[in-house]
Structure 1
Amino acid sequence: MRAPQEVAVVGAGLVGCLTACFLARRGYQVTLYERRSDPRSATAERGRSINLALSERGLDALRRVGLDEAVMKAALPMPGRMMHAPDGTLSFQPYSADGQRAINSISRSELNRTMLEGALALPGVRARFEHRLTGLDVDSGLMDFDTPDGPVQRSAQIVLAADGAYSAVRGRLQFLPGFDFSQDFLDYGYKELTIPARDGEFALDPGALHIWPRGQAMMIALPNPDRSFTCTLFWPKSGPGSFDELDTAERFEEFFAANYADARALMPDLADDYTHNPIGHLVTMRAYPWHARGADAVVGLLGDAAHAVVPFYGQGANCGFEDCVELDRCLEETGDDFPEALALYGSRRKEHADTIAELALENFVEMRDKVASRSFLLQKRIEHGLERLLPGRYVSRYELVSFSTVPYAEVQRRITRQRRAVVAVALGALAAVGVTAGLLRRR
């Protein structure tokens, strides 16, 4: 099966739109199927517009299809994180040793609109909205959809799933022999709040990702172009200080004012946001293989449909965008043999997806607890000192993840090598000091 002309991409979110862009450049006819209404005319679902932290991996993918400039018009750079202590004390932690590198805050809905417009501007790309996938025959590529006008059927030789963590396509593949799937929910939820503009200006420093670390819980805030901040609470689902315990606006406001006093003063709509915005779930999903081949069709998984991660390293969308780059690379290497390319893509990406899933879970503990500790701040100062002393030879894990395209698993291997080298140098220096001291005593 070589160079089929028609590709169905289920899901017109971020990864689906970028997939369409890459395929259109290769000459494919692409149809995007999306269960929601057209995001260009619809408003964002309340409490579901969590901002994204777009970093180098995502920007690299966007540059390849010429969308980086359009996307960055709505982005705000954040070169570090601002820590908010319970007493209101602020401390800024730069992300890079030179303080010049930044991750970029951008609205998910705004990014989706820009990418959808970019995809639909390309020859051969079209979108069908309000098409909810209800059935898929892997052998034939026949798809069943519910639409406002009733059930419809469509078919394609290539079906690519970019329909998110609760992917309908992956749900069909889960019944196939040999398909592995797991999901692990954190006992935490999240809820979106807002800090509006104050007298037409930002109420907080817009050049930072703001964090209120509170041990077993936290809140973050990212800036928006309209000078507001999108805030997200990450709280336990049950127990003291949890969503279950703070089940009324009155209880919540009392608890919030006691623990996030500086933020409370900036949030006039706090009670309304808390009451009406939904509680989201935090889940890590793993699946493999990321493709299935039928008699006349092949199905593939990209982005969260293949590997959903929790948002604490800001790499969910960036990782999904890298999937698109790798699939495009594999198509090039295999001469557009889709079954072979999908198999190669999955084998290459799986370990990296697993790695960032673990890093994201680890970073949750760091963000909610460790960032406020003196030992963590000392560690960061030492890391930045080593980066300045050994430019290019020693790079922190955060910088390798956020400001490079070094594969995630290789980042871990490099960090292990760096730490061993630092320990070896430190032990060598101690040994040298000991020898010198011994010689001096003999004299």
Structure 2
Amino acid sequence: MAAERSISLIGAGLAGALLARLLALRGWRVDVYEKRGDPRIAGYQGGRSINLALAERGRHPLRLADAEAPVMAQAVMMRGRMVHPLHGEVNLQRYGRDDSEVIWSVHRGELNITLLNLAEQAGAKLHFDRRLDRVDFDNRIAHFVDDRDSRSFEIPFCALIGSDGAGSALRGAMGKVLDLGERVEFLDHGYKELEIPPAADGSFRMEPNALHIWPRGNYMCIALPNDEKTFTVTLFMPNQGGSTVENPGFDTIRTPQEARAFFARDFPDTLPLIPKLERDWARNPASTLATLHLERWHLDGRALVIGDAAHAMVPFHGQGMNCAFEDCAALAEHLDTHADLDEAFAAFEAERKPNARAIQQMALENYREMRDRVDDADYRLQRELELRLQQRHPGVFVPHYAMVSFMRVPYSTALDRSEIQQGILVRATRGKESLDQLDWASVDADVAAHLTPLTDAA
């Protein structure tokens, strides 16, 4: 195994930087190749910049890498969803029972730079302006290009790990020699980003400790806080609208002026908060959303893809980064415990693939919930019952969001139990307007018949 303790990572994003630190701390020789320039010099030039929600299952790998403290120093707590209906009062729907059950908003660029510094401090070597062009897997030679001057580089490798995102160059190279069973499902909705700047006195312009959401049926806005007192606003809506103004799409809002009129009609309380709406609308293009499915993640012991390169998902459960960080911790463990790279990669894939598929499904389901249901009376009643059953059956009835965000139970387990629990909630609340109308003995019996105690992964 000593001769194999060398790994080359493709992609210096969040997963690549964290994995580089985890492996370097374990004594691996780690080289990281990134097609972009060093963000610590050139400034962050990432791809999607949707703000990230850090949950417990993402914090655990950070602890393993001794990286949690500097990351949390830049995070902003979010207690729940602050729902802004078109008509009616703004209301906070907590994620958990109290402030011990929250998630954290982190800025992608700041987080990436923090993890790169930590990876380098641990001994990983970072190589920027190195775009993977092709791979000779038979001779284990990776060919890179510096797009600034078209210079090419031939780098021998022991094994390649692709942490280079949804458009992974390594996945593309692997696909030329092995059928990965790749399938991409594009969502018919896209997104566009805007910004809420700080108030004149330098403070937040609205409640900072929440994920703000403006649900509007088939489309929605969300806003996540940043530690510099701004909010990143993201509009999600269909790429193609309908024939009436009630069914807008990115194709039907053609000018910044039409965007302002659209916001004045559907998100009027945001207009005073986004003073440069027209400028942001013109500058920031609408981007696509998709789910990536692969049947195979590795090429024996020579190559493996992780994170978005293996299982990109839509961002509506805030779990893309958390899932990728779990990948990093799981892979580091398998590399420690298996005799060779082929065995380690195969074991990693077997463990993580069903969990990736589960969170991909839950992310799509969460979009429908966020845009359609959070302002519905039946939804609010079911969430109220969910928390009550958590109190009545501790450790047995665990709310869906708690399993995903506050625990480390496998995503596949969370999905299976959530489907069972949703059935209990629907049966109990059907035709009811308040919890006072419930037959509690029947509800408790339903819980006992379908659920057993849940053990966290911790």
Give 1:184's aligned amino acid. E
1:263 aligns with 2:266: no
Q: In structure 1, which of residues 282, 302, 306 is the aligned counterpart of residue 310 of structure 2?
A: 306
Aligned to 2:433: none
Equivalent of 1:384, from 387, 398, 418? 387
Q: Deviations over 1:306-362 (max 9, x none)?
A: 100000000000000001111112122214x21110010001111000000000000
Q: TM-score, normalised by structure 2?
A: 0.89
Amino acid of the structure 1 residue aligned with 2:192 = K
C-alpha change, 1:215 and 1:416, in structure 2 (3 Å) is closer
Inter-CA distance 32–432: structure 2 relative to 1 (3 Å threshold): closer
User: Would you say the 8 A contact 1:47–1:192 is kept in 2?
Assistant: no
* Corresponding position of 1:224: 226
Q: Tell me which residue corresponds to 1:282.
A: 289
Shift of 1:44: 3.5
2:441 aligns to what?
429
Partner of 2:206: 204
The equivalent residue for 1:129 is 128
Structure 1 residues 254 and 31 mapped into 2: Cα distance closer, same or farther (>3 Å)?
same
Instruction: Provide the rounded CA distance (Å) in 1 between the counterparts of 2:293 and 2:92.
Output: 35
Change (3 A) 1:66 1:395: same
Quote the Cα distance in structure 2 between the aligned partners of 1:178 and 1:168.
15
Q: CA deviation at 1:2?
A: 5.6
> Alpha-carbon deviation of 1:100?
3.5
- 1:324 aligns with one of 312, 328, 336: 328
* Cα shift at 1:232: 0.5
Offset of 1:216 from its aligned partner?
0.5
Structural RMSD (CA): 2.1
Counterpart-to-counterpart distance in 2, 1:223 and 1:418: 31
Instruction: Give structure 1 stretches of 5+ with no counterpart.
Output: 434-443
Matches of 2:61 and 2:88 in 1, distance apart?
Answer: 39
Contact 2:46–2:109 under 8 Å retained in 1: no
Residues 258, 45 of structure 1: alpha-carbon distance in 2 compared, 3 angstrom cutoff? farther
Q: Deviations over 1:400-437 (max 9, x none)?
A: 0011110000112333455677879x99935999xxxx
**What is the letter of the counterpart of residue 265 of structure 1?**
P
Query: What is aligned with 1:437?
Result: none
Identity %: 41
Contact 2:39 2:45 in 1 (8 A): no
Q: SS of the counterpart of 1:59?
A: helix
Q: Is the 8 A contact 2:52 2:108 kept in 1?
A: yes
* Equivalent AA in structure 2 for residue 117 of structure 1: N
**Partners of 1:165 and 1:108 in 2: how far apart?**
16
Matches of 1:13 and 1:140 in 2, distance apart? 27
- After superposition, give the CA deviation of every residue in 1:229-265 in whole Å (9 maximum; x if it has no partner): 0111101111131111101111111111111110111
Q: What is the CA deviation profile of residues 183-230 of structure 1, one whole-angstrom value per residue up to 9, with x for unaligned ones? A: 011111111100111121111100100000010000100011111101
In structure 2, the partner of 1:60 is 60
Q: Which residue of 1 aligns with 2:84?
A: 84
Partner of residue 436, structure 1:
none
- Where does residue 167 of structure 2 map in the other structure? 166
Residue aligned with 1:81, SS: strand
**1:397-436 to 2 correspondences below 5 Å:** 397-416=400-419, 418=421, 429-430=441-442
State the distance in 1 between where 2:208 and 2:33 align.
Answer: 36
Q: How far apart in 2 are the matches of 1:42 and 1:197?
A: 25
> How far, CA to CA, are the matches of 2:366 and 2:3 in structure 1?
42
Residue 26 of structure 1 and its aligned partner are, at CA, apart by: 1.9
TM (norm. structure 1) is 0.92
1:47–1:191 Cα contact (<8 Å) kept: no
Q: Secondary structure at the match of 1:369?
A: helix
> CA offset at residue 47 of structure 1?
8.6
1:292 is aligned, of 299, 302, 325, to 299
Give the match for residue 23 of structure 1.
Answer: 23
Alignment check: 8 A CA contact 2:185 2:291 kept: yes
Code of the residue aligned with 2:205 in structure 1: it is A
- Give the match for residue 244 of structure 1: 251
**Correspondences of 1:67-106 after superposition (within 5 Å):** 67-87=67-87, 89-98=89-98, 100-106=100-106
What secondary structure, in the 3-state scheme, does the structure 2 residue paired with 1:377 have? helix
The 1:230–1:330 alpha-carbon spacing in structure 2 relative to 1, beyond 3 Å, is same
Q: Kindly tell me: are residues 268 and 431 of structure 1, through their superposed partners in 2, closer, same or farther at Cα, counting changes over 3 Å?
A: closer
Distance 1:194 1:28, change over 3 A: same
**Which moves more between the two structures, 34-43 or 93-102?**
93-102
Q: Matched residues in 2 for 1:412 and 1:244: separation?
A: 35
- Number of residue pairs matched? 427
Alpha-carbon distance in 2 for matches of 1:372, 1:315: 23
**One-letter identity of the residue aligned with 2:259:** F
* Deviation digits for residues 117-153 of structure 1 (CA, Å, limit 9, x no counterpart): 0000012x11110111110122222111111341111
SS at match of 1:284: strand
CA distance in 2 between partners of 1:244 and 1:266 (Å): 25
Contact 1:141 1:159 in 2 (8 A): no
Aligned residues of 2:178 and 2:299 also touching (Cα < 8 A): no
Q: Which amino acid aligns with 1:65?
A: A
Match of 2:260 in 1: 253
| Structure 1 segment 328-339 matched on structure 2, within 5 A | 328-335=332-339, 337-339=340-342
RCO comparison, higher one (Cα < 8 Å, 6+): 1
Q: 1:179 to 1:429 in 2, by over 3 A?
A: same
Contact 1:55 1:403 in 2 (8 A): yes
Q: Distance in 1 between matches of 2:87 and 2:424?
A: 40
CA distance in 2, matches of 1:392, 1:270: 46
